[in-house]
Amino acid sequence: MTDSKNKVIELEKAVIRFAGDSGDGMQLTGSLFSDSTAFAGNDFATFPDYPSEIRAPQGTVSGVSGFQIHFGSNDIHTSGDQADVLVAMNPASLKANKNWMTNDAVIIVDNDAFTEKNIIKAGYENNPLTDGTLNGHLVVNAPIATLTKAAVSELDIDNKSAQKSKNMFALGMIFYMFNRSYEKTFTFFENKFKTKPLIVESNKLVLKAGYNFADTIEAFTNTFKIAPAKLNKGRYRNVTGNLATAWGLLAAAERSGLKLFIGSYPITPATEILQELAKHKQFSAVSFQAEDEIAGIVSTIGASFAGALPVTSTSGPGLSLKSEALGLAVMTELPLVVVNVQRGGPSTGLPTKSEQSDLYQALFGRNGEAPLIVMAASSSSDCFYSAFEAVKLSLEHMTPVILLTDGSLANGSEVFKIPKVNSLPKIKPPIAKANDADYKPYARDSKKLSRPWAIPGTEGLRHRIGGLEKENISGNVSHNPENHQLMSELRQEKVERVADFISSQTVEGDENADILVVSWGGTYGVMLTAVEQLLKEGYSIAFTHFKHIMPFPKNTEDILSKYKKILVCEINMGQFVNYLRMKFPKYDYGQYNKIQGLPFTVAELKKEFITLINQ
Amino acid sequence: MENIIDTAKLVLTKKDFESDQMVKWCPGCGDHAILKSVENVFPELGIPKEDFVVVSGIGCSSRFPYYMNTYGIHGIHGRAAALATGIKIANPKLSVWMITGDGDSMAIGGNHFIHVARRNPDVNILLFNNKIYGLTKGQYSPTTPKGSKTKTSPQGSFETPFNPGELVMGARGKFFARVVDTNIKMMTRIFKEASEHHGASIVEILANCVIFNNKVHGLITGRDTKEDNQIFLEAGQPMIYGKEKDKGIILDGAQLKSVTIGENGITESDLMVHDPTTEDSGIHIMLANMAPPELPAAMGVIRSVKAPTIEDSVWASVEHEKQISPLKNVDDLLNSGSTWDID
């Protein structure tokens, strides 16, 4: 496969976007290309972009499903702004992605799909392949449907089934273009369709046909190669944020010696966490699919009372339904981890699109004074460590934690260096000992202010807890005014003191710059990339990214105080910046917000930063 | 909140379960008798006192956990069933008792109530049905009879009430019993049977709210009327009731009918014999729906059918997966599937 006639050009990185109808198998195509990318030793990040309908009307723009991969020989922190190569399986996918490719992107189309009917369905007036709209692009016309049929003509397979392999033709072309071997993909077919040898054979034939077609037609003047990335020694894999979250929770269960319980209700884009945990009963992890969001969290509080490692997962509207129960967890001072995978809101909003707009809800969305820990994962692979830490803090400090991730992290994937579970810190919840004569339900640890966790079934520790205010230490129901003030302050202080147990906030880039750009949660990769590029281009800029939001790391104000200009960037209308204004009112904060259901692009951030630098 | 340390675990008395907290229900409230009955039952079950957990939602009845010296959790309105399910799945050895009312479980918690019945965790659910909202001072509930004048139905309620038993069986519940708060002996016996049933045992207690709905069950519980308006169902026994023990229930076509033994040639052998164990709930629903004046209200265990509990199924699955899974720990999981090494 290296006997290519064309010149091979070495690239540092590239972005490919596979787009087709939601039934065209673009997600599978993308993930197979990701596997081969991993095998080639590149660093990469991916992002699927699909409609909220399972099968929207065929051939329409709303039914387009996309998968983008950004891969390279250097640190890759984002799934890429715009595609260098677009695979468009029909006119609608070309139309839907016209703004998501570079001006000189290579476009591979299935021109069999560019029928008059499909062109009109996509909303084009003329055939975009011939009317000049694609000037500047290298357009590779491939009669994919026809050639797919031809490729399997020797097999006893009907055309309808054969056409299901169309996506493999496109994948074959891309493999050729990037000098990839297809052996690993063949192994995948063999495993996936073990009992269907005909399907294995047809997929192989079609993939090879695509590869050979690309080679034969000489449409590409050259092919590309990307050197392996210089990653640290170790074992790697590809993970999505949701998978990493589930695994981080399981690792925490192992390090705490507790049995994990997840009570949850399916909701996009959080569902995979429940699904993944449901697979792992061998670790004594129990999943309970509740009748609604409320039962999801309340059953988990029950499990927490009973001594399990308690987790519930949800997304924005689900978190709204869980508000009252979060108050119960605050009042009972039980551990509870709530993973909230943010999506576009309010209400049903944009279920498959990402946003950072649940921060206010996480911080403030409860009745009464109800403080809890709020943290946010910064990348798909960081979801593993954030989930682990969320459990550790929740169990050791006896308080609910809301971990915010988002749709981009949840469904996006990146390279993950596999850690050894025993290299992760031990988790030691304050479980009360049987027949402890000094046991009191609301006695507190002197450093953490956490109360002891007395698990039903333990001799000598019978007690009652609940939503009514409790007397400090004894835990008896109390309406005493001074006690309520004291308990409100203790609950607040308990969460504030978590700051003594988390890492310090760090600054990246040029610490001595005048300008500090600030972000939190899922935007870390794109922010870092923009900052790194500006530093390379000679600009002076500092960057700090928050994972811990309530409480803040102790040195937060020290950092904010050092810079002349602060710009806070988030995918919402300014929730974090307003929280900073409330917590640290001495400083002036600029803000850059975007709320389109789309991630930031590196280009727009750089533009914004340069404008600020030049002011 | 003293915790008495007692190593003689299983020789328990009522005292072991009495809390030192002041019981704040109204004088004359039916809940006092229910509390007494539960305190009677717990020492008799052969369960260590540390293994009891009393769970509740919100309402007058839901203060119950504070009045028992056991582990207890007083939850939020309507959600006790979810709490109880989580506790029981997480730790199946616990004896979980859920205390709830008609507002808590028929209205705001209706969803959780039907699902706990269907999932069948081994929890004992005591549903205090006083047909009124007591803690908020007298509004109609989903079990308030149509036409009742309450603070929020001054012209009389317009709504068709639920019958809890019918709801339990509609939700494919496996155990339903009914008792009256005026009969401690009956409550004690039925609570014990509920505890011994492996699965979700739902006991409706016809409870009197002395302040806002006094004597709502008067016809069924009244000293002079109760014997003609209650029938206590015994498994395997003919359905006989009445002051003179001369009345009985027959199946007339597709309907239950009250008859008098000795009249129209009716003998005891014509009467229905109670079988709570039939999988088909048809007759059980009819029995749960019986109401005076035409028919007596059914008391005792109306339905008791064996079925696997959710926690048994869950933990059996855990054991099975432990046997067959190639993943022995989380390291195995992280390293499963497609990975690659950088040297």
What number is the average pLDDT over the span B249-275?
96
* A–B CB contacts, 8 A cutoff, strictly below: 225
* B105 Cα distance to chain centroid: 11
Check B339 against A418: CB less than 8 A apart.
yes
What's the distance, Cα to Cα, between the start and end of chain A in Å?
53
Q: Does domain B14-237+274-316 match CATH 3.40.50.970?
A: yes
Q: pTM (2 decimals)?
A: 0.95
- The position carrying tokens 């890429």 is A80
Per-residue confidence at B8, pLDDT binned at 50, 70, 90?
low
Residue B273 DSSP code: B
What number is the average pLDDT over the span B296-319?
98
As a whole number of angstroms, the distance between CA A208 and CA A186 comes to: 10
Report which of A528, A491, A515 is spatially closest to residue A611, judged by C-alpha positions. Answer: A515
Q: Is B50 on the interface with A (CB under 8 A)?
A: yes
Q: Is B313 on the interface with A (CB under 8 A)?
A: no
Find residues 389-448 of chain A whose CB sits inside 8 Å of chain B. Answer: 418-421, 435, 437, 439-441
pLDDT of residue A218: 77
As a whole number of angstroms, the distance between CA B152 and CA B161 comes to: 15
SS3 assignment for A540-609: CCEEEEECEEECCCCCHHHHHCCCCEEEEEECCCCHHHHHHHHHCCCCCCEEEECCCCCCCCHHHHHHHH
Q: Is A328 on the interface with B (CB under 8 A)?
A: yes
Find which of A46, A260, A287, A305 to mutate to test the B interface (most B CBs within 10 Å of its CB).
Answer: A305
Report which of B180, B299, B178 is spatially closest to residue B230, judged by C-alpha positions. Answer: B299
Find which of A245, A284, A291, A422 to mutate to test the B interface (most B CBs within 10 Å of its CB).
Answer: A291
Strands A222-226, A548-550: parallel, antiparallel or unpaired by DSSP?
Answer: unpaired
pLDDT of residue A55: 73
**In A, which residues are within 8 Å of B111 by CB distance?**
291-292, 295
**In B, which residues are within 8 Å of A251 by CB distance?**
330, 334
pLDDT of residue A231: 86
pLDDT of residue A138: 93
Q: Is B5 on the interface with A (CB under 8 A)?
A: yes
pLDDT of residue B260: 97
Reported as a single tens digit per residue, the pLDDT across B104-143 is: 999 999 999 999 999 999 999 999 999 999 999 999 999 9
Q: Which neighbouring-strand residues pair with A30? A: none
Reported as a single tens digit per residue, the pLDDT across B149-188 is: 999 999 999 999 999 999 999 999 999 999 999 999 999 9
Reported as a single tens digit per residue, the pLDDT across A268-290 is: 999 999 999 999 999 999 999 99
Check A232 against B331: CB less than 8 A apart.
no
Check A460 against B79: CB less than 8 A apart.
no
User: In this model, does residue B7 exceed pLDDT 70?
Assistant: no
Location of each CATH 3.40.50.970 domain in chain B: 14-237+274-316
**Ordered domains of chain A (ranges, CATH):** 7-226 (3.40.920.10), 240-423 (3.40.50.970), 508-614 (3.40.50.920)
Cβ B80 vs Cβ B109: under 8 Å: yes
Residue type, A595: I
Q: Is B335 on the interface with A (CB under 8 A)?
A: yes
Q: How many CB atoms lie within 10 A of CB A200?
A: 18
pLDDT of residue A2: 46
CA distance B261 to chain A (A): 48
Check A462 against B334: CB less than 8 A apart.
no
User: In this model, does residue B75 exceed pLDDT 70?
Assistant: yes
- A144-151 and A166-177 helices cross at what angle (nearest 10)? 100
Check A306 against B342: CB less than 8 A apart.
no
pLDDT of residue B2: 46
Q: Which residue of A has its CA nearest to B111?
A: A291
Residue ranges of chain A with pLDDT lower than 50? 1-4
The shortest CB-CB distance from B330 to any of A254, A307, A463 is to A254
pLDDT of residue A57: 85
What number is the average pLDDT over the span B30-37?
95
